[in-house]
Structure 1
Amino acid sequence: MTKADIVKEITQNTGIEKVTVEKAVEAFMETVKDSLTGGNNVYLRGFGSFIVKKRAEKTARIISKNTTIIVPAHNIPAFKPAKEFVAQVKEKVK
């Protein structure tokens, strides 16, 4: 499902204009990105959490050159689904 599909689905289910739904979806995504960029997690009860994970420094290998490099510590965005969400997907998807 793409962002356009999500907008279309919300428009059909609510009757709200497509332009308004696009703006709302875009604003939601920007808010989540801004929050994570600021180091704050986003918690959506019953859905899941958008969190910032901290990755430690590590040594990696470049196999083609047979060399090692140091990958510095860094932060990455991640999504952790809520327990109810996971249970619902397990139950419905086969």
Structure 2
Amino acid sequence: MNKQELVDAVAAKTSSSKAAAGEAIDAFIGTVTAAVTKGDTVQLIGFGSFSTGARAARVGRNPSTGAEIQIPAAKTVKFTAGKAFKDAVNGA
């Protein structure tokens, strides 16, 4: 499912216009992005939580030449699925 299909599905479920559903989804994405960028955790009970993680610097290899390269440390975004979401996916 891509974003447009999600907008269509939300509009159909909520009996609202596609424009309103698109704005709501954009607002949700923007709010979650802003919160996680600040270092906050966004917890949606039953669905999951978005948070930041850290990846340490490491040595990698260029696949074409085999030369070693330094990969810098980076922040990552983590999503941990909630129990209800996991149960729905697993059919429990």
Tell me, yes or no, whether TM beats 0.5.
yes
Q: How does 1:66-77 map to 2 (within 5 A)?
A: 66-77=66-77
Segments of structure 2 that go 5 or more residues without pairing to the other structure are none
Q: Distance in 2 between matches of 1:84 and 1:27?
A: 24
Q: Distance in 2 between matches of 1:72 and 1:64?
A: 20
Pairs aligned (count)? 92
CA spacing shift, 1:13–1:63, aligned 2, 3 Å = closer
The residue that corresponds to 1:29 in the other structure is 29
Question: Cα RMSD (Å) of the superposition?
Answer: 1.4
Code of the aligned partner of 1:15: S
CA shift at 1:78, angstroms?
2.1
Code of the aligned partner of 1:69: I
Q: Distance in 1 between matches of 2:87 and 2:13?
A: 24
The residue that corresponds to 1:5 in the other structure is 5
The residue that corresponds to 2:89 in the other structure is 89
TM-score of the aligned structures, taking structure 2 as reference length: 0.89
> Per-residue displacement from partner, 1:11-35 (whole Å, max 9, x unpaired)?
1122112211111100100111111
The residue that corresponds to 2:60 in the other structure is 60
Code of the aligned partner of 1:80: T
TM-score of the aligned structures, taking structure 1 as reference length: 0.87
Task: Indicate the percent of aligned positions where both proteins have the same amino acid.
Answer: 33
The SS at the match of 1:53 is strand
